[in-house]
A and B are shown apart, each in its own frame.
Chain A
Amino acid sequence: MPFYVAPEQFMKDKADFARKNIARGRPLIATAYADGILICAENTSKTLHKVSEIYDRIAFAGVGRYNEFDQLRRSGVQYADIKGFQYSREDVDSRSLANLYAQHIGNIFTHEMKPLEVEILVAEVGIEATGDQIFHILYDGSVVDEDRFSVLGGEAEAITGRMAKAFRAGWKLPEALKAASTALKGPDKPVAVPDLEVAVLARSESRRSFRRIEDAETASLLGLPEAVEAAPGDTQPGAGGELADLPKTGAGDPPA
């Protein structure tokens, strides 16, 4: 290397670079509610998702560069499906996945020229509320284990402040969604329903607990008039609608 750069300076530059680009991204909130975990993101695209299913009880969410966090998502699905095949479905857990992500992202931060410009979230819904887990993994591989809510992306501090004020342990889905969607941009400029991407990990008997909440249902949960015009049965369970429910279960249940 022709010039000497102090390691402190080098790391700081990388961190500043990652932080700056992540902060430009639209934010995302995950919070535990009585019957599961809610993930609510600001996303103008209907097809490029920020929130997705990893496994039966595990969801993934990412902010920042889409191609980078989508690659992480795919790796997560691959890891979880292989592990479930090799051992058992019960053995797939969010903690080991979060650790793997942390190692991978941390490695890139330390050894590559360009760090990943992403922040990701791994959430798992427990059989009981005490088993709910939310892991927030930063661009440098550090992991934060949150038990109330987690905010990713731009303006995270302001949103965290708004969310902390609204948060109530054991709240129901409509209340949690209202608080999260208001916290995203502040009470005076709420995010329009079509720009919200909402999904839940619902605590239920179904094997696959991940469920996307489509616009009509979001509007109805928020108590907005759009709900009246929406056709009933418009919402479909699961990622692509073809929610596979293997042993013993019925379709993804509507939220309580």
Chain B
Amino acid sequence: MPLPVFRPEDDPGPDFLHLLRKMGQDPFAGPALGENRAVEITHATTIVAIRYADGVVMAGDRRATAGSSIAHRGMEKVQPADRHSGVAFAGSAGIGMEMVRVFQLQLEHYEKVEGSAVSLEGKANQLSQLLKSNLAMAMQGFVVVPLFAGYDRRQKRGRIYSFDPTGGRYEEPEFHADGSGGRDARTTVKLGWSEGMDRNATVELAVQALYEAADEDSATGGPDLVRGIYPTVATITEAGYERLPESDVAERFAAVIASKSRKGLSL
């Protein structure tokens, strides 16, 4: 690979996707597949973001499905985008993972080239542009729906952005959940949410939402007690992105299961 040297009028600036295209490597340039798809697409499922007093809690299950079978049990759908933001995705797993990778690199690349970080809203807009680049693939069924949340260091609060497959970007004032179990998760959060919740209550609410989503949606993975795989839960505050240790998440799920068992499960 040569050293990329551009004339000022050709320089892609801090835009990593543009740079990749200039070097002939568009990550979203998929071939047209036509109507009859023979490929089984892996899908990823429930993701949640909830705003609270110190920032945002993000959570997501770990299951990926291909049709009705489980494709992967330990997928990480919630990942740090940079120090003060996180990104999660539902939908086509391969493209979703690639989009997250390009997004992470995009933010880092901008920061290194420009010497300063993009604003939180700027980051959300960047993700929206990545989604738009994938529109041709989305039209063929490879849909990805990300969820972006972070701590806005200028406004000193947590902020959440939801997206649609065409790149539409919507700021959510309180919380959001997406994916096949998103509706169940959203309802659970809606019933339990209040302004200014503390970290503990919010993490508990996120865990509950994932539990309910897994209870109703076959494509959402619950806590896997046999293998010890638990959903990802992370907080994003002024101190940055911090993933909860798996043991902590395990305890919280155990508490939910215990309270449900006491009540007696209603079918």
Report A's interface with B, CB cutoff 8 A.
47, 49, 52-54, 71, 74-79, 81-86, 100-101, 103-104, 238-246, 250-251
Q: Is A77 a contact partner of B109 (Cβ separation < 8 A)?
A: yes
B 218-260 to A, binary, CB cutoff 8 A, 1 in contact else 0: 0000000000000000000000110000000000000000000
Chain A residues near B2 (CB, 8 Å)?
Answer: 100
Q: Beyond A81-B108, A82-B23, is A242–B82 a contact (Cβ under 8 Å)?
A: yes
Q: What is the distance, in angstroms, from A155's C-beta to the closest C-beta of chain B?
A: 28
Q: Which of B72-100 contact A (CB under 8 A)?
A: 79-84
Q: Is A75 a contact partner of B19 (Cβ separation < 8 A)?
A: no
B3 within 8 A of partner (CB): yes
Complex: chain A residue closest to B4, CB-CB: A78
Interface of chain B, main secondary structure: mixed
Complex: chain B residue closest to A103, CB-CB: B3
Chain B residues near A242 (CB, 8 Å)?
Answer: 82-84, 111, 116-117
Docked pose: A244 CA to B103 CA in angstroms: 12
Docked pose: A126 CA to B233 CA in angstroms: 33
B56 within 8 A of partner (CB): no
Chain A residues near B79 (CB, 8 Å)?
Answer: 246
Q: Is B115 a contact partner of A49 (Cβ separation < 8 A)?
A: yes
Q: Is B111 a contact partner of A82 (Cβ separation < 8 A)?
A: no
The size class of the interface chain B forms with chain A is 35 or more
Q: Is A251 a contact partner of B240 (Cβ separation < 8 A)?
A: yes
B3's partner among A47, A101, A250 (CB-CB below 8 A) is A101
Q: Can you list 8 contacts pairing A with B, beta carbon distance less than 8 Å?
A: A53-B112, A75-B4, A79-B1, A82-B4, A104-B3, A104-B5, A238-B111, A246-B108
Docked pose: A241 CA to B84 CA in angstroms: 10
Beyond contacts A82-B19, A100-B3: 11 other A-B pairs, Cβ-Cβ < 8 A, are A75-B4, A75-B5, A78-B12, A78-B19, A82-B4, A85-B20, A104-B5, A242-B82, A242-B117, A244-B81, A245-B241
B107 within 8 A of partner (CB): yes
Q: Which of B104-127 contact A (CB under 8 A)?
A: 104-105, 107-109, 111-117
B 1-40 to A, binary, CB cutoff 8 A, 1 in contact else 0: 1111110000110001001100101000000000000000
Docked pose: A100 CA to B115 CA in angstroms: 23
Chain B residues near A53 (CB, 8 Å)?
Answer: 112
Chain B residues near A47 (CB, 8 Å)?
Answer: 115
Chain B residues near A243 (CB, 8 Å)?
Answer: 83
Docked pose: A245 CA to B240 CA in angstroms: 9
Q: What is the distance, in angstroms, from A141's C-beta to the closest C-beta of chain B?
A: 12
Q: Is A81 a contact partner of B105 (Cβ separation < 8 A)?
A: yes
Docked pose: A85 CA to B24 CA in angstroms: 13
Q: Beyond A78-B19, A81-B16, A82-B25, is A52–B115 a contact (Cβ under 8 Å)?
A: yes
Q: Which 5 A-B pairs have the closest CB atoms?
A: A242-B117, A244-B82, A240-B116, A100-B3, A78-B4
